[in-house]
Chains A and B, each alone.
Chain A
């Protein structure tokens, strides 16, 4: 009995997202964005600022690859004139290229095509989605953020999203980690055991590109070499709102 009353103690703490905007989600420093064009920094290129090579200067155009950015903020601190934080948690994308800010040319068309193809594939599972998480070499923090989706603040059960113990019941594979060689085979067998249609989400920069962990003798440098990825989530680790955005995007319940 005391637990029933304790459960009522703080009233409703659950977010209304995606029905309504959430101030925490909108204010979260989710990505780094280039602000200017100057690619020269005291004789060194700005690319050297980044420990994971996320900064590109193609043809004077400054770009940040969120799929590599570990959000350390070094570029923002050292060159606040060139880089700034972009608040917002709706950071998941349908192609690897779409993680680059500002957008690469032709990304939009590719995304539209993928969106249509994914929507056709996932039409059957829109209101009830079962997610199987697989750790393919994470640092452990990603699991905390995935588990947070089940706490009362995010409470994904209200959206018909459930975590399942068996890949046999799964519609979505949520994969974290850089793709350690030791997980290649377990990951392949998990995918094989999952019924079709299946949506694969690469959760976090480690899963997208290997992040700071790659290159190395023991990791693949992202899971895309191990299986086909449908949705990409940046962040190190991705915040729970970004993961929720990815799940909604994966099932066509949100458009961008």
Chain B
């Protein structure tokens, strides 16, 4: 500690933060995020989020005005690798000793204007400066295939730099910055009712989960009407089913199984139509409001149950056929292996983590809303770590999601539905909210100002946390395996770069 104080004056709290993180992780807790706020000219705050049974705890370290450098946490805590790059991009702090401080969401050169989330002021326009991006390829016969940001097919914009001697993929670099939308700064100054609408747009395919995590941060575990908890769970589970069907369809498509891809596309369309019939939006938008929900499902309970049954029957048959198609299984088996020890060290989330032995599911370990009293879902865990394991986890989750959705609909018919939202007493201060999205746990670190408006909001999607693991999964894979790796991760770039 004395050495770092000498070399980095003013960073005592960062050293203390690193030590506390060390102890908590050694004690079995999981590092969930490292977020930054403020402007080095006026003072900054580093916040680490630590997930454990029953909650997510924020730990903070203040850096006084004028301090621009601090000792990097990444050498001791590799999972902080992308987070420190993100903080460097948005806040401008430099983590000394970081193994590779390339730009992640906002390429810039030293001295340029930065957004500084959580600090006063609002830059009008910041152009990404691509001259800050490194261009380098090492090794005899290696070349780089840049893939993106405009890719072949209907994809979100992202650039993969595939470094290859021809067929193997020794390394993939990910450049997601093209669609950075500056959402952290956009949250600032909104009231919480507008804030939840923006949260739905952080990662559009997981609108409900993001709205839930945001709302939970606002609510600070205030008790909600039972009906609100059930409506929330119903929509969250429908969203999970739709996302998992999307992944199955993309895997089938990658293997050239046109009929299978069409079948899963049809099922997914039916789920989106069911969600649309329940609330008016095919993505469940507008359902979650801080304090509860905006309305009851617009279909009678038995109509919802019947449609869920019909969907489940159709999906079951096609899933069984898919798992019985050897030409398909050959492509996913052993493809994209994520080693369980790496997954555990990084705290991999969602089906990516659960396919490699990490069982954490916020619905079970940190239950919220109706998950507090509905029978806890069985958390499927596989240890193989390949694309097939991730697919098997999703298939099992589809089943539990139907189960939970049925329960929610049934309980909703029996409970008091007069009140759907509680009046919240908003008070200034910082809070954390979480929810289990189809991609894994979403966490929001939120601070409400004295005027009741948002003064800082940092969403952390599972996509952001997991995508950094993607390049580690190409061991033994070749170029034609790429679509299987990508589809089996099932992440959204919008949620990565925000």
Contacts and interface: CB of A to CB of B under 8 A. Distances in A.
Nearest to A190: B150
Contacts of B154: 133, 143, 146-147, 163
Contacts of A212: 186, 194, 197-198, 201
A4 interface: yes
Interface stretch (B31-39, B53-61, B263-271, B425-433): B263-271
B229 to A, nearest CB: 21
A216 B495 CA distance: 17
A236 to B, nearest CB: 8
Contacts of A208: none
A209 interface: no
Interface string B241-256: 0000010000000000
Contacts of A77: 294
A245 to B, nearest CB: 16
Contacts of B153: 133, 163, 165
B269 A137 contact: no
Interface in A116-151: 133-148, 150-151
Contacts of B260: 3, 6
Contact of A186 (B115, B127, B157): B157
Contacts of A70: 197
A216 B294 contact: no
Contacts of A181: 125-128, 180
B318 interface: yes
A222 interface: no
Which of B122, B183, B262, B294 is packed against the most chain A CB atoms within 10 Å?
A: B262
B182 A216 contact: yes
Contacts of A166: 152
A51 interface: yes
Interface residues of A, number: 62
Contacts of B324: 2
B207 A138 contact: no
B178 interface: yes
B125 A217 contact: yes
Given A181-B127, A182-B178, A237-B204, A217 B197 contact: no
B181 A140 contact: no
Contact of B156 (A2, A13, A72, A135): A135
B276 interface: yes
Contacts of A143: 154-156
B359 to A, nearest CB: 27
A178 interface: yes
Interface residues of B, number: 66
B182 A218 contact: yes
B1 to A, nearest CB: 38
Nearest to B127: A181
Contacts of B177: 182
A88 interface: no
Contact of B283 (A29, A146, A219, A237): A237
Contacts of A136: 157, 179
B178 A10 contact: no
A67 interface: no
Given A6-B259, A139-B201, A139-B202, A51 B178 contact: no
B126 A218 contact: yes
B257 interface: yes
Contact of A73 (B201, B204, B283, B286): B286
B205 interface: yes
B179 A137 contact: yes
B9 to A, nearest CB: 31
A151 B286 contact: no
Contact of B273 (A24, A29, A145, A147): A24
A152 interface: yes
B321 A2 contact: yes
B407 interface: no
A3 B321 contact: yes
B405 interface: no
B139 interface: no
Interface in B191-231: 193-194, 197-198, 201-205, 207
Given A3-B321, A181-B128, A190-B150, A141 B266 contact: no
Given A7-B262, A51-B197, A135 B155 contact: yes
A239 B282 contact: yes
A73 B266 contact: no
B325 interface: yes
B494 A140 contact: yes
B335 interface: no
Nearest to B252: A3
Contacts of B471: none
B185 interface: yes
A145 B275 CA distance: 14
B187 to A, nearest CB: 10
Interface in A47-65: 51
A151 B266 contact: yes
A187 B179 CA distance: 11
20 contacts: A3-B259, A3-B321, A4-B259, A6-B318, A10-B314, A13-B266, A71-B286, A72-B197, A135-B157, A135-B179, A138-B494, A139-B202, A141-B283, A144-B205, A148-B265, A151-B262, A180-B178, A217-B122, A217-B124, A218-B126
Interface of A: 2-4, 6-7, 9-10, 13, 24, 28-29, 51, 70-74, 77, 85, 133-148, 150-153, 163, 165-167, 177-178, 180-183, 186-187, 190, 211-213, 216-219, 236-237, 239
Given A6-B321, A142-B204, A218-B106, 4 more contacts: A7-B263, A135-B155, A180-B178, A218-B182
CB-CB nearest 3 A-B residue pairs? A141-B204, A151-B265, A218-B182
